[in-house]
Amino acid sequence: MAVRLGDLAPDFIADTTEGRITFHEWKGSGWAVLFSHPRDFTPVCTTELGTLAGLKGEFAKRNTKVIGLSVDPLAEHERWKGDIRDVTGHALNFPLIADPDRSVANLYDMIHPNASDTATVRSVFIIGPDNKVKLTLTYPASTGRNFQELLRVIDSLQLTANHAVATPADWKQGEDVIIVPAVTDEDAKKRFPKGFTAKKPYLRVTAQP
């Protein structure tokens, strides 16, 4: 069954390039990005894993761990590591789950049979400190993901988790945010002492808290 926003992220035990893990235990009380890619030794996946390895520090700054998955066995993951480093200049620095029996892929509905019966699609799950799913994304095998977008979403999620705000289209860290409609003007004056601009009665913007 599909894993949807607000669902508890299913827990599992799996073998990874960093040893056997229990997912919730490994994740701890921070944030996590769990993503699948179709196969080892494929071109787009090679670029994705290297790019993500290069961004590990950016995810760590956001208290976010990263973990990948494909249905290939551990020995293949280990052999592929050298290529990722050669091509991208970044050594794999996060765990890659080996899921040859597809148990985790099925748990998270990462195999879409009308795309491929055997390989996982490019799924992304962002999971919060409460182990609930905050974002899902599905990309086809032929399109490499934009990992800056994942960082941008995490910035938005972490901001909105702490303040009564939402973020507008194309928002980036430091730009104005939207006061959620549930907050009255009276309340907004107290919560946002720098003030706000009402572009419409339902669209009020304020400086990023």
- Which position among 9, 14, 45, 119 bears the catalytic label? 45
Any catalytic annotation for residue 45? yes
Q: Does residue 68 bind ligand BEZ (CB under 6 A)?
A: no
CB of 66 to ligand BEZ, least distance (A): 18
Piece of 38-46, 66-74, 100-108, 190-198 that binds ligand BEZ (CB under 6 A):
38-46
CB of 45 to ligand BEZ, least distance (A): 4
In this structure, the number of other CB atoms found within 10 A of the CB of residue 164 comes to 17
- Burial track 54-84 (b if 16+ CB lie within 10 A, e otherwise): ebbeebeeeebbbbbbbbbebebbeebbeeb
Identify residues 97-156 at the interface with ligand BEZ (CB under 6 A).
Answer: 141-142
Residues 188 and 99: their CA atoms lie apart, in Å, by 49
Q: Does residue 201 bind ligand BEZ (CB under 6 A)?
A: no
CB of 144 to ligand BEZ, least distance (A): 8
Element (DSSP H or E) covering residue 46: helix 43-54
Helices (H) and strands (E) in the chain, counts: 7, 11
Provide CB contacts within 8 A for 187, sequence distance 6+.
none
CB of 48 to ligand BEZ, least distance (A): 7
Instruction: Of 187, 184, 179, give the one whose Cα is nearest residue 163.
Output: 179
Piece of 35-43, 57-65, 184-192, 200-208 that binds ligand BEZ (CB under 6 A):
35-43
Q: Does residue 42 bind ligand BEZ (CB under 6 A)?
A: yes
One residue of 9, 45, 105, 121 binding ligand BEZ per CB under 6 A: 45
Residues 199 and 112: their CA atoms lie apart, in Å, by 42
One residue of 35, 38, 96, 123 binding ligand BEZ per CB under 6 A: 38
Q: Does residue 52 bind ligand BEZ (CB under 6 A)?
A: no
- Assess contact for 71 and 37: CB atoms under 8 A: no
The one-letter amino acid code at 52 reads L
Q: Does residue 39 bind ligand BEZ (CB under 6 A)?
A: yes
Tell me which residues are annotated as active site. 45
Q: Which residues bind ligand BEZ (CB under 6 A)?
A: 38-39, 42-45, 141-142
